[in-house]
Amino acid sequence: MATEALALSGVDALYGESHVLHSIELSLAEGHVLALLGRNGAGKTTCMNTIIGWLRPRGGQIRLFGQPIARLSPEAIAQKGVGLVPQGRRIFPKLTVKENLDVAFQKRDSVWNLERVFDLFPRLRERKEQYAGSLSGGEQQMLAIGRALMGNPSLLLLDEPLEGLAPIIVESLLASLKALVADHSLAIILVEQHAKLALQVTQDAMVLNRGRVSHFGPSAALLADPQRLTSLVVAQ
């Protein structure tokens, strides 16, 4: 039986008086990949922010490999092995590619290092001395993912990694994500508006609707039912 990497139990989250997440239940096994889907405003990014500690839950439990993390700071949660690729990338534009990666390095198990990131994203090797702010949008996204991997996480959170990218770059990034998934060394949560693409690279899918779980099941089954997929995740 696979080890449980992440568990959310009865998690509620609020922004001020606005109740955004309602009793969220989630279980993610070590080495498994979950697509977190839903319409705009469904609570996907809030769920990610709650896991990483940017938003403290008002109720419920969050456990990482059995250890409670819901009351820890984002820094402490990252130190325990949670890596985040935030929406909007948030790289350091005045540092070079190599400096962006070096500053994020955490030894831990040292599964990831500069060379392995460069193997996953060869374009970053070509631009390692280039300032990050001068990279294209797709290259910046590669850097954001590479920077998260340099922390040697056991759980990787990807928030809209394909957002705003040209189709050819989406194809390249998707190939890299498939390589990450095939490695089976990381538990991954993928938030993505491109639902069909997300379902192609994940084992399971959870759909949020107004902050509540409206669906949980195998990605392949949802991908094979376009009508149900549309009803669950396409804005109306």
Condensed to tens digits (0 to 9), the pLDDT of residues 90-101 reads 899 999 999 999
Domain ranges for the chain, please list them. Answer: 1-81+154-163+184-236
Q: H or E stretch including 193?
A: none
Q: Which residues of the chain have pLDDT under 50?
A: 235-236
Q: How many CB atoms lie within 10 A of CB 235?
A: 9
Question: Which amino acid makes up residue 153?
Answer: P
Measure the CA–CA gap between 231 and 236, rounded to whole angstroms: 9
Q: How many CB atoms lie within 10 A of CB 97?
A: 30
Measure the CA–CA gap between 130 and 235, rounded to whole angstroms: 39
pLDDT, residue 1, reads 63
pLDDT, residue 135, reads 94
1-81+154-163+184-236 belongs to which homologous superfamily?
P-loop containing nucleotide triphosphate hydrolases (3.40.50.300)
Q: State both tokens at 130.
A: 């280039």
Measure the CA–CA gap between 140 and 136, rounded to whole angstroms: 6
pLDDT, residue 236, reads 36
User: How distant is the alpha carbon of residue 231 from its chain centre?
Assistant: 24
Condensed to tens digits (0 to 9), the pLDDT of residues 24-81 reads 999 999 999 999 999 988 999 999 999 999 999 999 999 999 999 999 999 999 999 9
User: How distant is the alpha carbon of residue 11 from its chain centre?
Assistant: 18
Phi/psi at 84 (5° precision): -125, 130
User: What pTM was computed for the model?
Assistant: 0.93
Phi/psi at 54 (5° precision): -70, -25
Q: How far apart are the first and last CA of the chain?
A: 40
Question: Which amino acid makes up residue 115?
Answer: E
